[in-house]
């Protein structure tokens, strides 16, 4: 079994990782600090009659990278834009100071950045708004995953709701709203609403009106719909630009002439403008001459875990060393896999 586990872990081996902390609103006692593979193995033994060997555990960003790199050799960055937000990239082993294993060929390792936690030390405070701070205060993990809370699908809808709530309370939006409607309930304005609202391309605002009906807003004008859509576009654009800034930093660091970025996640798949917004901002921020391509990797994390498991077994079953320098490029070869968790 190849196992995708989308939470920060201390990776101690390809099939051994200890949970560092829960994110994305999850919390389960007795798991932090424990070996995730061992817990899953024991649970499978209790629930099934078959013996399941877990040979690899990977982060979803790593799985996405592995899946896409299987068909595109230029793919060296994996990005998740869904419920959470994270990225990984290929790094030269000589640049990884925390690597404590043998440095064998190939001399590269996948770095899982866990960049959703960027800003936890206060470095993003100059960008955060009152709405970001309120969302963080009432979240299950205050003070943590700051960048993720400004980008990911789990939180985007709530930020929009907080802005719309403030505009309504100050008399700038909607003439009369029932105080009991879902617009005033935390977590009831979903990120899918943002994608649907921004899909409106005319002044009829059919999607926007449907969303407002669903959240219990009955009295709204065309001007109200324009404002709602404008709020959505501002918040989604900020999220896309933040993700783009992170990717541009990785592209510039790697300094490769042409890189493919594998992307998976519902936010990227379903939002009508996210791809284009990211491409425009990345192009502004990367060094001149560096080329990049964003490629959707549908269910890449699951496929990547399966690929990692397959390669792991093939390496384990390889009895003799292979001379990789004198083998035609078209022939399949075992691949060394290194995965390092970056705090």
> Which positions are annotated as active-site residues?
24, 60
Closest CA to 104 of 95, 115, 96, 93: 93
Per-position DSSP letters for 256-298, written without gaps between them: -SEEEEEEESHHHHH-SSHHHHHHHHHHHHSPTT-EEEEEE-T
Q: What is the dihedral of CA 250, 254, 255, 258, to 10 degrees?
A: -80
CA distance 275 to 62: 20
As given in the structure block, the two tokens for residue 158 are 């709530």
CA distance 184 to 192: 18
The CA-atom distances, in angstroms, between 125 and each of 49, 108, 122 are 51, 34, 5
The CA-atom distances, in angstroms, between 66 and each of 18, 60, 107, 177 are 21, 10, 17, 49
CA distance 169 to 196: 24
CA distance 78 to 68: 8
CA atoms within 13 A on the CB side of 270: 14
Cis, bond preceding 333 (omega within 30 deg of 0): no
Give the SS3 label for residue 128: coil
Eight-state DSSP code of residue 104: P
Eight-state DSSP code of residue 59: -
């Amino acid at each position: 079994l190849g196992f995708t586990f989308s939470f920060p872990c201390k990776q101690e081996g390809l099939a051994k990782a200890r949970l560092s902390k829960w994110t994305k609103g999850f919390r389960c006692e007795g798991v932090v600090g424990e070996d995730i593979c061992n817990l899953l193995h024991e649970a499978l033994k209790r629930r099934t009659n078959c013996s399941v060997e877990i040979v690899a555990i990977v982060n979803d960003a790593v799985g996405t990278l592995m899946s896409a790199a299987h068909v595109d050799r230029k793919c060296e960055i994996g990005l998740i834009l869904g419920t959470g937000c994270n990225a990984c990239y290929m790094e030269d082993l000589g640049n990884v100071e925390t690597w404590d294993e043998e440095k064998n060929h190939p001399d590269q390792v996948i770095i899982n950045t866990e960049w959703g936690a960027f800003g936890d030390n206060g470095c993003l405070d100059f960008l955060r708004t009152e709405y970001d701070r309120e969302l963080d205060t009432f979240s299950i993990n205050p003070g943590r995953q700051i960048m993720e809370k400004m980008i990911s699908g789990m939180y985007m809808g709530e930020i929009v709701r907080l802005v719309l709530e403030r505009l309504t309370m100050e008399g700038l939006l909607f003439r009369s709203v029932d105080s009991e409607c879902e617009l005033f309930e935390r977590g009831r304005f979903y990120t899918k609403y943002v994608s649907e609202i921004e899909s409106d391309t005319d002044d009829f605002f059919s999607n926007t009106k449907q969303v407002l009906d669903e959240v219990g807003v009955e009295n709204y004008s065309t001007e109200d719909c324009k404002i709602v859509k404008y709020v959505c576009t501002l918040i989604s654009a900020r999220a896309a630009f933040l993700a783009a800034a992170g990717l541009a930093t990785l592209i510039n660091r790697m300094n490769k002439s042409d890189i493919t970025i594998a992307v998976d996640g519902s936010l990227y798949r379903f939002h009508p403008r996210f791809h284009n917004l990211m491409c425009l901002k990345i192009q502004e921020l990367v060094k001149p001459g560096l080329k990049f391509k964003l490629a959707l990797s549908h269910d890449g994390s699951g496929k990547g875990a399966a690929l990692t498991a397959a390669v792991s077994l093939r390496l384990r079953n390889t009895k003799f060393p292979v001379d990789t320098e004198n083998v035609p490029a078209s022939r399949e070869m075992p691949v060394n896999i290194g995965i390092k968790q970056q705090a």
